[in-house]
Amino acid sequence: MPTNDQKTKYALYCRKSTEDSNRQILSLDSQEKELLALANDLGLDVAYTFRESKSAKKPDNRPQFTELIKLIKKGKVQGVLCWKIDRLSRNPIDSAIIHWLLQQNVLNIIQTMERQYLPGDNALLFNVESGMANQYILDLSKNVKRGIRAKLEKGGWPNLAPIGYLNKNSKVIVDKKRAPYIKRAFELYATGKYSVKDIANTLFKEGFRSRAGNKYHKSKIHRILGDSFYCGLMVKDGQSYTGKYQTIISKKLYDNVQEVMSNKSHVKHQTIPFAFRGILKCAKCGCQLTATKKKGRLIYYYCTNGKGICDEHKAYIKEEFISKELGRVFDSLIFDEQIVNLVYQAKLQEGAEASSFLQECALSLRSRLQENDSRKKALLNAYLDKIVTAEDYRSKNESLSSDEALLKKDLEELEMKKSNQDNVTLERIKNFFLEPKQRRKEFFRLSPEKQRNVLISLLWNAEIENKKIANITFKQPYDVLSKIENKDDFDSMRATSSWNRKFGKPSKAFR
């Protein structure tokens, strides 16, 4: 190599980042040692030494490099000594800065272990080598994204597992210590009786702690309740994938929680715990009914008139009267006991029908999966034939992939339900239909607070007009039961039993 002017002040620059998987790239200590030996052989005057453990793929990311450029511009450094040119830059902006300083003779020389770069050199050579370094970063990014996508499609999770799971040997496993708390959080919220803050406090009292031993804030609990990862659906960059790991909750429970969230049915703290506030709505304007105490201990409910268009707020309704009105919610749920028993006997002979129904559902889901796959193939062909743009292809393909993940999850749960069909207790379903009649009698003997707990399990809200119940919005499965008009009809009752087979066990409304 040519000998350089002894008056030239050199800065030695060493860099290695965690993304550099190439073992040929020496550590910072090794780079510095080799470069100092080269400087000694060439008689170079090294005035500054910079060591950087940062990636060069983005500009303004390396403080040591920035300081080096400042020294060059001030004239304190005229030469740079580095292992290879890609140690200085791997992005076009930093490469352009180096190249410009070299062309303007502000920087006299770049000396690497292999060659020199001088102001009079062909600019094409420098640009080609800089471009190769930049292309390495682009290829690396694409390969990483491709690897992440491939892992997701195979059911793996490429990131840190959420609370309730652990990362072990590149797999996601259930955290047996925290998973029960996660499941309990979903179960509590699905009842509609607890706010997120209530659940955070309850779980903390029961021992749910962060790894640092702290309480999880309600915002964290809210994120957990909205995360489909726990039911086996992984969401990455807006696209859903089916996970190949043990789920903590069922998709049905997850869907129930999302329904509660969307209806905002969680309980809010009140200064005075009025039993039926949050359940009652005005049928005329849609506003909530609130309550107040008058004449000492009497509680009255009235429309808030939040929209300023309703005169129902002038009508005050005693809590005692509201309680009697709310007892009417059971009327649309009560079936004739004799009919229930007849259907029960018939259902004992229909095991084969239940299995056939689930089989039909499974065939339907598989057919939809095949149709989805055909649409993806047609979309790909249209993209390859340049009928659709790359942006439209990406958007529609992501949508189809998300649908595919949801269909696979539904099919998986349906297959599980088929395998457990023999364990479904018809006796329990029969009691489910018989209980409303008995519970209606018990309802009027309960305190308003306990009545509220029963109502929250049954319905989303009740609309009041002229001090009477005008409409009731039931939760599932009671919504379907309430719509059976003739509850003394054998065929209607049997149809409802088929509904139970489709959607599973009745909820614990009367417990």
pLDDT tens string 344-353: 777 666 655 6
Give the percent of the chain with pLDDT over 90.
21
pLDDT band at 506 (very low <50, low <70, confident <90, very high): very low
C-alpha 151: how far from chain center: 18
3-state SS track over 318-336: EHHHHHHHHHHHHHHHCCC
Tell me the sheet residues that pair with 14. Answer: 51
Determine contact, residues 404/372, Cβ cutoff 8 Å.
yes
- Which CATH architecture describes the domain 165-263? Alpha-Beta Complex (3.90)
Q: What single letter denotes the amino acid at residue 231?
A: C
238 or 188: which leads in pLDDT: 188
The pair phi, psi for residue 104, each rounded to 5°, is -85, 5
Tell me the sheet residues that pair with 292. Answer: 300
Torsion sign (Cα): 153, 154, 155, 161: negative
Which residues neighbour 121 within 8 Å (Cβ) at sequence distance 6 or greater? none
Burial 164-203 (b: 16+ CB within 10 A, else e): bbbeeeeebebbeebbbbbbebbebbbbbbbbbbbbbebb
Determine contact, residues 411/365, Cβ cutoff 8 Å.
yes
Give the percent of the chain with pLDDT over 70.
81
Q: What is this structure's pTM?
A: 0.39
Strand order in the sheet with 298-303: 289-294, 298-303, 317-318
Indicate the fold that domain 9-141 takes in CATH. Answer: Rossmann fold (3.40.50)
Domain boundaries, the chain: 9-141, 165-263
Determine contact, residues 458/334, Cβ cutoff 8 Å.
no
Determine contact, residues 355/499, Cβ cutoff 8 Å.
no
Cis preceding-peptide flag for 63 (omega within 30 of 0): no
The pair phi, psi for residue 341, each rounded to 5°, is -65, -35
Q: Give tens-digit pLDDT for 178-208.
A: 999 999 999 999 988 888 999 999 999 989 9
